[in-house]
Amino acid sequence: MERGTINVQTENIFPIIKRYLYSDQEIFLRELVSNAMDATQKLKTLARLGKVQGDLGDLMIEVKLDEENKTLTISDKGLGMTKEEVHKYINQIAFSSAQEFLEKYKDADTVIGHFGLGFYSAFMVADKVEIHTQSYQEGATAVHWSCDGSTEYVITDGEARDRGTDIILHVGEDGKDYLNNAKIEELLKKYCRFLPVDIKFGTQEQNIPKGDDSEEVETFTVDNIINNTQPAWKRSPSELKDEDYISFYRELYPYAEPPLFWIHLNVDFPFNLTGILYFPKMDNSLEIRKDRIHLYCNQVFVTDHVEAIVPDFLTLLHGVIDSPDIPLNVSRSALQSDPEVKKINKHITKKVADKLNGMFKNDREGFEKKWSDISILIKYGILSDDKFYERAEKFCLLENTKGKFFTIQELQEATKALQTDKNGTLVQLYTNDEKAQHSYIEASTAKGYEVLKLNTLIDAHFINHLESKLQQVQFKRVDANTADKLIEKEDALTSVLTEEQETKVKDLFTNTIDNKSVGVTLEAMSPEDKPIMITKPEFLRRMKDMAALSGQNMGYMQGMSDMYNVTVNSNHPIISKVLEEGDEAKQKDLTKQLYDLALLQQNMLSGEDLTNFINRSVNLIG
């Protein structure tokens, strides 16, 4: 028997380990199972190199919970340790790395993942830890190590045993939550479900029919294996079918709808990264979703908070990223400025853009069908990443009200002839509510204009962005002006009214409307156009949309948004009719009626005004 003192400055490190990030206590199990897996993988490597002879046998890792004796055991059949190795790796290295880790991160408040605490994280839940180990090396004897949470350990020769290591945790008061089968199984499923070595936790009953058509079943007791050792992202894309990708998706997110498509990532230079990114259905909303990308490190689950690792707009994707090259012991802000992470970021962005571009080029029709589900991600990417914009410009689509899709370039070509105004600005028209803006859309399409459907949440930002990127392009909602004035041309029509008559019409409407902030203008339009229209200036409206989107409560904007213009078509026959009306009361009624019709068209007539309108209509008909 040999006694020793773990060489540390701190009088007792274990209380510190226990206090350290209490909320992350559960990672002890991940650390111990990963050590068992490392030991198993190392043994396989040695066998491949011819340094271990003979059959390795079954290499299953087993986790056993003994609630009565309050122990949790992690057993592997890996390479084991000699006495010297226990000294070196447990007493010296493991301990000093645990100490170093604590010193380094005691002030960091956001540490993602805690690789590095390693073996000693066992003391977060255990009062005493034992190691029984037998090295694969010839002539090595079994070793027993134990430590009760003070700085003293005991090493003795162990009982003869098979190759491998058992780590026994004597769970104390701090870890009593873990003396529970369901809890351990949950943690194993969370952190270890895709580890490359079988992990057994207890047994399971399995019913197997006795014969082909027999109703009788035979019950077998089988090992309860926690993990899938061959997760799809670790396999070669060439051996995977669509069904495999979809069933792996279901394994990750059992309750989600099937994905639209996916990208299999496989990089080994200049960094190591594998994974599968899935495009989920997004139906145009940026709602906070609960399904996220999972980050793994060599098949061990680390976190599903990948905000710092993938670009913001790609956090909308689902799936798995696995990389040993992401520094996990640093704070989120340090992670964002880490050069390695930046490279990974760039690579993923490029892969996503390439995939989308490939789909667009190879199957445009299919791409258009998916557009409504993927547009939000693409627009978000365009807004947040210039490099992505450069790539996405080629496949970002705009849809018109008739369901036809244009790329940005195609749209410019298609609208150049009719929609260039007298200053050479190309005016693009859009609607964000086809029903409400129906008559405005009709008026514009009748002139041969394209009206785009831009009705998602981020479209206000998106069109602002396009205006800043494209030369001389301006977006206007169809109701920003009358169809004639949306795109101002030289060749305006002339009014059939005299100046005096126009003043009279203007006064009539101004007095009827009785709202100081509403301006009335007369415009010479075609007699076929509407007699009177309400328009909302593009600039103010969009400012308000953007403010609302960014969650700003701009009080003064509220008032502005109610601003609108009333445009009277001086060439419409009904306007002449109103002018000629001799009965002053009737003239007022007609004016009011026309104004209300215009309000109705914008869905702005309600309450008492609507009731009055209906009563007046009945009177006019009668």
Q: Please, which residue, 17 or 451, has the CB nearer to Mg ion?
A: 17
Residue 610 partner contact from Mg ion, ligand ADP, none using kind-dependent CB cut-offs of 5 to 8 Å? none
Q: Which residue among 14, 112, 118, 377 contacts ligand ADP (CB under 6 A)?
A: 118
Give which of 302, 356, 323 is closest to 111, Cα–Cα. 302
Give which of 318, 271, 324, 275 is closest to 302, Cα–Cα. 324
Please state the separation of Cα 84 from the chain's center in Å: 49
Q: Please, which residue, 115 or 595, has the CB nearer to ligand ADP?
A: 115
- Length of the chain, in residues: 622
Q: Please, which residue, 119 or 262, has the CB nearer to Mg ion?
A: 119
Q: Please, which residue, 149 or 319, has the CB nearer to ligand ADP?
A: 149
Residues 6+ apart with CB under 8 A from 269: none
CB 495 within 8 A of CB 572: no
Binding segment for ligand ADP (CB under 6 A), chosen from 62-70, 86-94, 510-518, 597-605, is 86-94
CB 198 within 8 A of CB 113: no
CA–CA separation, 452 vs 401, rounded Å? Answer: 6
Q: Does 165 bind ligand ADP (CB under 6 A)?
A: yes
- Residue type at position 530: K
Q: Which residue among 17, 27, 36, 147 contacts ligand ADP (CB under 6 A)?
A: 36
The tokens describing 9, both together, are: 């400055």
Question: Where does this chain bind Mg ion (CB under 5 A)?
Answer: 35, 118
Q: Does 90 bind ligand ADP (CB under 6 A)?
A: yes
Provide the β-strand partners of residue 331. Answer: 111
Name the minimum Å distance from CB 134 to ligand ADP.
10
Which SS3 state, helix, strand or coil, does residue 586 take? Answer: helix
Name the minimum Å distance from CB 41 to ligand ADP.
11
Q: What angle do CA 528, 529, 534 make, to 5 degrees?
A: 160
Which SS3 state, helix, strand or coil, does residue 300 take? Answer: strand
Name the minimum Å distance from CB 60 to ligand ADP.
14
Spell out a b/e string for 432-455, using b for 16 or more CB atoms within 10 Å of the CB, else e: beeeebebbbebbbebebbbbbbe
Residue 280 partner contact from Mg ion, ligand ADP, none using kind-dependent CB cut-offs of 5 to 8 Å? none
Closest residue by beta carbon to Mg ion: 118
Provide the β-strand partners of residue 5. Answer: 152
Name the minimum Å distance from CB 86 to ligand ADP.
8
Count of chain residues binding ligand ADP (CB under 6 A): 15
Q: Please, which residue, 90 or 265, has the CB nearer to ligand ADP?
A: 90
Q: Does 81 bind ligand ADP (CB under 6 A)?
A: yes
Q: Does 320 bind ligand ADP (CB under 6 A)?
A: no
Q: Does 89 bind ligand ADP (CB under 6 A)?
A: yes
Name the minimum Å distance from CB 85 to ligand ADP.
7
Which SS3 state, helix, strand or coil, does residue 104 take? Answer: helix
Q: Please, which residue, 13 or 458, has the CB nearer to Mg ion?
A: 13
Binding segment for ligand ADP (CB under 6 A), chosen from 74-82, 335-343, 462-470, 578-586, is 74-82
CA–CA separation, 78 vs 43, rounded Å? Answer: 6
Residue 165 partner contact from ligand ADP, Mg ion, none using kind-dependent CB cut-offs of 5 to 8 Å? ligand ADP
Name the minimum Å distance from CB 34 to Mg ion.
5
HSE-up (13 A, CA, CB side) for residue 275: 26
Secondary structure (DSSP) of 410-474? HHHHHHHHHHB-TTSPEEEEEES-TTTTHHHHHHHHHTT--EEE--STTHHHHHHHHHHHSTTEE
Which SS3 state, helix, strand or coil, does residue 400 take? Answer: strand
Name the minimum Å distance from CB 341 to ligand ADP.
21
Q: Does 76 bind ligand ADP (CB under 6 A)?
A: yes
Q: Does 136 bind ligand ADP (CB under 6 A)?
A: no
Closest residue by beta carbon to ligand ADP: 118
Q: Which residue among 61, 72, 94, 187 contacts ligand ADP (CB under 6 A)?
A: 94
Residue 320 partner contact from ligand ADP, Mg ion, none using kind-dependent CB cut-offs of 5 to 8 Å? none
Name the minimum Å distance from CB 118 to Mg ion.
4
Binding segment for ligand ADP (CB under 6 A), chosen from 35-43, 46-54, 182-190, 327-335, is 35-43
Give which of 338, 352, 411 is closest to 385, Cα–Cα. 352
293: left (phi over 0), alpha (psi -120 to 50) or beta: beta
Q: Which residue among 6, 27, 33, 39 contacts ligand ADP (CB under 6 A)?
A: 39
In which residue are the tokens 């802000």 written? 333
CA–CA separation, 546 vs 581, rounded Å? Answer: 45
Q: Please, which residue, 61 or 578, has the CB nearer to ligand ADP?
A: 61
Q: Does 31 bind ligand ADP (CB under 6 A)?
A: yes
Q: Does 119 bind ligand ADP (CB under 6 A)?
A: yes
The phi, psi pair for 294, rounded to 5°, reads -100, 135
The tokens describing 415, both together, are: 């609208």
- Residue type at position 392: A
Residue 261 partner contact from Mg ion, ligand ADP, none using kind-dependent CB cut-offs of 5 to 8 Å? none
The tokens describing 374, both together, are: 């993927």
Q: Which residue among 43, 65, 78, 144 contacts ligand ADP (CB under 6 A)?
A: 78
38 burial type by CB count under 10 A (0-12 exposed, 13-18 middle, 19+ buried) = middle
Residue 538 partner contact from Mg ion, ligand ADP, none using kind-dependent CB cut-offs of 5 to 8 Å? none
Q: Please, which residue, 78 or 275, has the CB nearer to ligand ADP?
A: 78
Q: Which residue among 35, 274, 428, 482 contacts ligand ADP (CB under 6 A)?
A: 35
Which residues of this chain interact with ligand ADP, rule CB under 6 A? 31, 35-36, 38-39, 76, 78, 81, 89-90, 93-94, 118-119, 165
